[in-house]
Structure 1
């Protein structure tokens, strides 16, 4: 009798372990399904709502992704679930890239001009030229003047006014840089670029103004 009771106890314990194990696997699958469902559902949310709450969306995604990844350890055979997670990761990354483009601040025509003349994001609303130094100022002038030369026929009068404003600010920075080790050779090259720029600005700015006046009369 005692042996039967002992055997029954062992069976019950084994069944309990099996039940716990099955429940753990079920919970793991639910976490993975929750992650997959979240990725699919995010794409159906209105774009304006996503823009307003994008940080929350990303935080929730990260939480569910971590839970799903950790849940794989609780599955005896996780091949199918791993594939599901990987597919959802790819879906989300593609969607995230699409949203990044939509969330990026719109670049104004003025900022596009500044980016072309000096490099992406080098000159912002603060008009700071602190990044220009004795070592790079010749290259800065060179890019500025050559960019203007290559695009001079497409600039409007407002563009030329902005170009002049930026050119004068760069010149002001040069006055400071000259005292910080600007070489005579670079100074000579910059002088040549300045001689090239001056008449190009005057002629083309006048031409742009004349074209705008003619267009206004029509």
Structure 2
């Protein structure tokens, strides 16, 4: 009788272990299926909404992907599940690359590209604000401007030269203000030298660009 009771207890324990094991595998499978479903659902969200919430989307993806990878250890045969996870990872990476292109800011206009080259990226926009130019940096600003023009003088069109002149005059206007704010005589002298270099370079090359355009027009 005693042996029968012991056997019954062992059998019940065995059922309990089996039940727990099955429950663990079921939970692991659900975790993996949830991860796969998340990847598929993200692809159905509009690009506009994704752009606003992309950081959260990536964070949630990373969490679910980590949980899915960990869940593989709880599956007796995880071959199919491993393939599902791998496939979803590939899908998400491809989608992420696609969205990176969609989210990228539009390319700057030729005029803005020219301004970025002359002054530094984003320094001068449509508002033509030169307030960032001060007594401490104005010499280096002139230096970059003139040297950039010198390096690219053979590539500029007549419209480019007109834009360059507009920017140059705006910088000169800012210099008039900066001179009253502590511009050193040494920097003023160096700027004068850069201005002497710029003036004939502008005149000659703009005339050359206009002449080339007239030739092309005649063709």
- Tell me the TM-score normalized by structure 2: 0.75
Q: Select 2:51's aligned residue among 49, 55, 76.
A: 55
Structure 2 residue 23 is matched with structure 1 residue 26: no
The offset of 1:176, in angstroms, is 2.2
Structure 1 segment 1-218 matched on structure 2, within 5 A: 3=5, 6-34=9-37, 38=40, 42=43, 52=48, 54-55=50-51, 58=54, 59-76=56-73, 92=92, 96-97=96-97, 99-101=99-101, 103-218=104-219
Distance 1:82 1:189 in 2: 68
Contact 1:31-1:68 within 8 A present in 2 as well: no
Query: When the two structures are aligned, how many residues end up with a matched partner?
Result: 211
State how far apart, in whole Å, the 2-side matches of 1:171 and 1:151 are. 21
| Residues 76, 95 of structure 1: alpha-carbon distance in 2 compared, 3 angstrom cutoff | closer
Residue 210 of structure 1: CA displacement?
A: 3.1
- Does the Cα contact within 8 Å between 1:118 and 1:140 map onto a contact in 2? yes
Check conservation: 2:68, 2:85, Cα contact below 8 A: no
CA distance in 1, matches of 2:125, 2:85: 41
RMSD after superposition = 3.6
- Quick check: 2:118–2:145 contact (8 Å CA) kept in 1? yes
Deviations 1:131-151 (A, max 9, x none): 222222111101111111222
- Distance of 2:213 and 2:69 partners within structure 1: 67
Residues 98 and 107 from structure 1, CA distance in 2 versus in 1: closer, same or farther, beyond 3 angstroms? farther
Question: 1:50 Cα deviation (Å)?
Answer: 6.9
1:31 and 1:64 in contact (8 A); partners too: no
Sort the Cα spacing of 1:65 and 1:99 in 2 relative to 1 into closer, same or farther, 3 A. Answer: same
Aligned counterparts of 1:139 and 1:83: Cα–Cα separation in 2: 58
TM-score by length of 1: 0.75
Residue by residue over 1:100-131, the C-alpha shift from the partner in whole angstroms, topping out at 9 and shown as x without a partner, is 34533122110111111112222111211222
Q: Do the aligned partners of residues 215 and 144 (structure 1) sit closer, same or farther apart at CA in structure 2, a change above 3 Å counting? A: same
Task: Point out where structure 2 has 5 or more consecutive residues left out of the alignment.
Answer: none
Tell me: CA distance 1:151–1:63, structure 2 relative to 1, closer, same or farther (3 Å).
same
Q: Is the 8 A contact 2:135 2:179 kept in 1?
A: yes
